[in-house]
Copies of this chain bind each other. A is one copy, B any other.
């Protein structure tokens, strides 16, 4: 029991061994991550359609929850672009942006996402992360990045525009383009230009100016925060808000409001499917980052416990004025590079954001929305990975097809349709592959006891015994194929009196496959052909013994393939290294 507790609450494992040195490293990383998180949190709240302070709230208690329940030493949890976009797409179906209902639906969505993640963790469904393939995840993030950037263009132009698909957004922007507010566009373009420069050119410039590597990198990373303050200064100095530049306006000051999300059974049922999608996507994104960083340090993340950790973070977001969160790529890499050594770094960052929520919000009054939009655009376009698509196109057509379906789905039908299209295609490819395992008619390699594929080796075969090897487990997805393949093998050798199924690669025979083997046995019997098995593994044999299959079997179960073939046609199959050489 205490083991279960220590596994479920990992903080109990590492906190007792927490050192002063780790504290110093974690605290420094937390400072850097906090500086990065403040503008990001505000911006991602904007993507999610939430008020800016909700972004800060979503970066406080969720971080504390992950510190207690998470297993990655470098993951930084909070609002991320793709999940914020999915949140907006979902919540927008239930309430108008900016309404009180909107915020409470977002709370319910976060809470439900948290419950689903924890349920998946309790059921040990961490393996589900495997079925979003890399190409699909990459295509999804790329397409979502483009969609998010397009959606933010209205703030840069200072116009109204809406839409959930790229076409709708583009049409709406084109229709409203004549109303462009030039001061807003000038400010937005300036911030974008500065941030793009800061991403690539600022650090080398600082290094050349004589700074050391670490401070130069830190300053470069603080560029978005600098842009925020510079824009606020510009608004105040130039009176830009009076010139039509939209600003954030009043933002409440203080700690996150603690309250249970609304419990409305109808709403919860309607939110179930989108919450599941957000849970799975968020989990896969987060776990991919966590595993990548863990591998660099030779650490491990516990896939099932990560579900609990992220689930707890989302529950926390759902009771403290936030919206769905997960582990973010960019901030986790920064956290890692800055030297975070334990999940405590996240807890310290939460303190930093709390201070921002307490003391910084009055300053945000004059923050232009165009600046936040510019931060978002530069951040998400960095996620766009065209190289991955080109690389996949060269390497694998089926993977590329799944990527193309995902991108097309996101652009034409919105973010949820895109990921569903990708996942469904992945599973179809998987089912298709699983339904046709590799199989081979085998014959004896002369002078040995080995039996190999007749198509690839020069082997001895018999006119009266045909043997088939099927490389893989026997189960519902391929049972029909196996049944047909065996009967076909018998049909193709008209003189065959015996069929031997070589089971050396079979670890499982499920009920559907067992019934298929029974059908094969009956069909072959009707034609006067005996059905044999060889090289059946122990656990499979134990299970077969619990059925009537072995009694009904017209042939026998042979220990080895050689034993089987030698017993059924001793004239054809020679014993190895015998004096005479048998006729082929």
Binding site for B on A (CB under 8 A): 125, 127-135, 291-292, 295-296, 298, 391-392, 394-396, 398-399, 426-428, 430-436, 438, 471-473, 475-481, 487, 505, 507-508, 510-512, 514-515, 519, 523, 526-527, 543, 546-547
Contact = CB atoms under 8 A, between A and B. Distances in A.
A466 to B, nearest CB: 17
B511 A135 contact: yes
A477 B131 contact: yes
Chain copies in the assembled complex: 2
A399 B134 contact: no
A133 B391 CA distance: 37
Secondary structure dominating the interface of A: helix
Given A395-B543, A395-B546, A476-B426, A134 B435 contact: no
Contact of A398 (B471, B510, B514): B510
A205 to B, nearest CB: 31
B135 A512 contact: yes
B395 A547 contact: yes
B134 A515 contact: yes
A127 B435 contact: yes
B295 A479 contact: no
Contact of A434 (B430, B481, B543): B430
Contact of A523 (B295, B476, B547): B295
B295 A487 contact: yes
Given A391-B547, A473-B433, A511-B134, A519 B295 contact: yes
A515 B426 CA distance: 17
Nearest to A427: B427
A511 B395 contact: yes
Contacts of A526: 296
Contacts of A514: 395
Given A395-B543, A430-B434, A511-B135, A480 B519 contact: no
A145 to B, nearest CB: 19
Contact of A430 (B292, B298, B475, B547): B475
A462 to B, nearest CB: 23
B128 A431 contact: yes
Nearest to A300: B484
A102 to B, nearest CB: 26
Given A130-B431, A130-B477, A396 B543 contact: yes
Q: Which residue, of A296, A478, A510, has the highest number of chain B Cβ atoms within 10 A?
A: A510
Contacts of A292: 519
Contacts of A399: 510-512
A134 B518 CA distance: 13
A131 B511 CA distance: 13
A478 to B, nearest CB: 7
20 contacts: A127-B431, A127-B432, A128-B428, A129-B480, A130-B431, A130-B477, A130-B479, A131-B435, A133-B475, A133-B511, A133-B512, A134-B476, A295-B487, A296-B526, A394-B547, A395-B511, A396-B510, A399-B512, A430-B430, A430-B434
Nearest to A488: B300
Contacts of A546: 394-395
B475 A433 contact: yes
Contact of A472 (B435, B472, B515): B472
A487 B523 CA distance: 47
Nearest to A392: B511
